[in-house]
Amino acid sequence: MTPPDLAVAEKIEGPSGETEELISGSEAIAHACRLADVDVITAYPIRPYDTVMQYVSQMISNGDFDCEFIVAESEHSQFEIVKHASVVGARVFCGSSGVGWFYAFEALAVTAGLRVPMVAMVGNRALDDPGAFGVEHNDALAVRDLGWMLNWVSTAQEALDTALIAYRVAEDKRVSLPCAISCDGAFLTHSQTLVKVPSQETVDSFLPPYDRAEKQLHPDNPITIAPQVNEDWLMEMRRQNDMAMRRARGVIIEVYEDFNAKFGRGGEPFIERYMMDDAEIALVGMGTLAMPVRVAVRKMREQGKKVGFVRVRWFRPFPTIELQDAFATVHAVGVIDRDYSFGSAFHSGVLATEVRSALYPMESPPKVISFIAGLGGREVSADNVIEMADMAFDAAAGGDINEQDTHWIGVRE
């Protein structure tokens, strides 16, 4: 492994104290933790997310970052420790990958149930068994029903920016929900690109300190947290979590506006639209898949094929309105899942099920074709993307593509 110190190839001073550094997605997240002045971080090793903790621990030992850094004895403890630190008022960060995230599942459930505004990073990784280090999205997606806000980023820059945005949204009193940032294992966690690292002043002007106010557990505020409520109150509390997630949508829009103004980047909050203006068919996906898809879209555009791409950035809350808008005039949508949902309605992945559901109420919804590709970190090539786009074109033209089935791409039969 490359020691974190050697990873910085060059540092270029940018405007207003911003520097440009050649760093990986994991190091970008570590910088976000430092800039957010996170108070408690817990680590436990599992590839690929754990690189972020290697950078964090080095920053601490070098004196560049002051926080309690606790190496837990399991992922369950990792997430429980920060949950409790957050309740006494500390800003916290945590993370995991694959089965590690699943080992923490109980803690993940209560963190959302308690509306602890933790920010976590998921270095997406295939679940065991059989073992694979590569990316699949089933780890993070498993918490999609629990009250975690979930997003997928596609570059190291977006990872850093989204981590700062995540703290602001999660800690907003109108929301108070945990947020997980998904970074595709290896493709993002371990790949270096030039990243603009903002100055502390800029971050401070954007991200206020975490304030739990009347919900802080402290002898001056002797409250009882998480008692037994049973059927008397549980439903009302579930409804409060539902309302918080509904409000998150507006807060996210508001926070991106401010981020764009202060940092000069950030883009549209929920989705990225790539060559969608006159698109007849569109592909949809999440994470680093965007890179081969953009290449393929440009290639097809050169051949006069009107194809576009929508990258879903926030999966929870789900961008229903944005997707209905983006696909208002397209004839077919090809959803590329880097995950699976065995036995689901059309044996598709999770994203396809969600997209179908979101588009169903449209007056004339596009046809939805679902694909599963790139499991276990297998490369999705531009040719794979073209194959999928062609199938979507075929569906749009009324061809014999079976919409009620899911197509596995790049798989040996």
Partner 1 sequence: MPDTDVDTFSDFIATQVLDPWKGPKKVPAEEYYTSGHRTCQGCESAQLMKLMAKAGGPRSIVLGATGCMYVANTTYYSTPWAIPWMHTQLGSAGSAATGTAAGLKVMMRKGKMKKEPINVIAVCGDGGGADMGLSAISAALQHTQYNLLILLYDNESYANTDIQVSGSSPWGANSTFSPPGKVKRIMNRRWKKNTAAMLASGHPECRYVATVCTAYPVDAMNSVRKALSIGGPTFVHSLDPCPKGWDYDPMYSHELGELAVETGIWPLYEVEEGKLKMCGKSKRIVSGQFKRKPVREYLKRQGRFAHFTDEDIEYFQSKIDDMWEKWLIPGVIPFAAA
Residue with tokens 């947020």: 179
Q: Which is nearer to partner 1, 72 or 194 (CB)?
A: 72
The answer to whether 40 and 72 are in contact (CB under 8 A) is no
Q: Which residues contact 404 (CB under 8 A, 6 or more apart)?
A: 346
> Based on CB atoms, which residue is closest to partner 1, 8 or 234?
234
Nearest residue (CB) to partner 1, 194 versus 217: 217
- Residue 402 to residue 406: CA distance in whole angstroms: 8
Q: How far is the CB of 375 from partner 1 (least distance, A)?
A: 32
Q: How far is the CB of 88 from partner 1 (least distance, A)?
A: 4
- CB 234 to partner 1: min, Å: 9
Nearer CB in complex with partner 1: 81/165: 81
User: The tokens of 276 are what?
Assistant: 């969608």
Q: Which is nearer to partner 1, 205 or 221 (CB)?
A: 221
Helix residue ranges, H only, 88-155: 98-103, 105-113, 138-141
| Residue 239 CB, nearest approach to partner 1 (Å) | 15
Beta carbon of residue 126, minimum distance to partner 1 (angstroms, whole number): 26
Cα–Cα nearest to 17, from 208, 197, 156, 261: 197
Shortest reach from residue 129's CB to partner 1, in Å: 23
Residues 6 or more apart whose CB falls under 8 angstroms from that of 383 comprise: 296
Rounded CA separation 79/364 (Å): 44
Please state, as a whole number, how many other Cβ atoms lie within 10 Å of the Cβ of residue 257: 12
Instruction: Work out the burial of residue 392: count CB atoms within 10 Å of its CB; fewer than 13 is exposed, 13-18 middle, 19 or more buried.
Output: buried
In the complex with partner 1, the residue whose CB is nearer, 236 or 302, is 236
- 116/216 Cα distance (integer angstroms): 11
Q: Dihedral angle at the C-alpha atoms of 339, 349, 111, 108, nearest 10 degrees?
A: -40
**What whole-number distance in Å separates Cα of residue 140 and Cα of residue 143?**
6
The residue among 217 and 291 lying less far from partner 1, judged by its C-beta, is 217
In the complex, minimum distance from the CB of residue 206 to partner 1, in angstroms, rounded to a whole number: 19
**Both structure tokens of 399:** 């061809």
Contact residues for partner 1 (CB under 8 A)?
A: 37, 39-40, 42, 66-68, 70, 72-74, 76-77, 80-90, 92, 106-107, 110, 209, 217-219, 221-230, 232-233
